[in-house]
Amino acid sequence: MKTGFGGKIMFPVILAGTLALSACDQPQEVPPLGTAQQMMANEVQPTAEIFWGAVGAKSELVDGEAVFTEWQPETDAEWDEVHAAAVRLGELGEILKTPAYAEGRGDDWMAYSQGLVDVSAQASEAAMARDPDAIFEVGGTIYSVCSACHRMYPPDVLPEGMTVDDIAQPRPNEETPASE
């Protein structure tokens, strides 16, 4: 009776699989990084923040005196991290172009996603050149690419007091030197 026992175990498993498949009539591509919202919150924003936070400047009052602080990647490891973030943004742009994220959107969606791919190449170049000014500048371009898409495809619900341009916030670390 060993085989019968095994068959009983297998049957519900196979049935469950069949039901799951037939539940969606058309085969749909499973979004690899969750919904667009999840992908933005968990992948795109944190990756952009690494890039935006890499180079910055601030001035503050210390004992009544203005102190100006600038920061940029110093070690190989720090530069590598910035470079990796630049490359990752391009990969995310490619993923945005896949049907899982692009389906049902206009052609402009493809253009905005490609914009991320293109700016990622510039970002990667700036990181390879270890050029802090270029990193800062490309950071601004990245932000316009994010915002352009958000203006056309805003979230259904914006948090109170926020505009679309607040969604992707550039250089959030501007207040905090990287050395801290």
- How far apart (Å, rounded) are the C-alpha atoms in residues 160 and 166? 11
CA 8, chain centre distance (Å): 46
Interaction of residue 142 with ligand HEC, rule CB under 6 A: yes
Supply the minimum distance, in Å, between the C-beta of residue 162 and ligand HEC.
10
Instruction: Count CB atoms within 10 A of the CB of residue 96.
Output: 25
CA 84, chain centre distance (Å): 12
Interaction of residue 153 with ligand HEC, rule CB under 6 A: yes
Binding mask 82-101 toward ligand HEC (x if CB under 6 A, else -) reads -------x------x-----
- Classify each residue of 3-30 as buried b or exposed e, where b means 16 or more C-beta atoms within 10 Å of its C-beta: eeeeeeeeeeeeeeeeeeeeeeeeeeee
Binding mask 160-179 toward ligand HEC (x if CB under 6 A, else -) reads -------xx-----------
**Contact footprint for ligand HEC (CB under 6 A):** 36-37, 40-41, 44-45, 48, 89, 96, 109, 112-113, 116, 142, 145-146, 149-150, 153, 155-156, 167-168
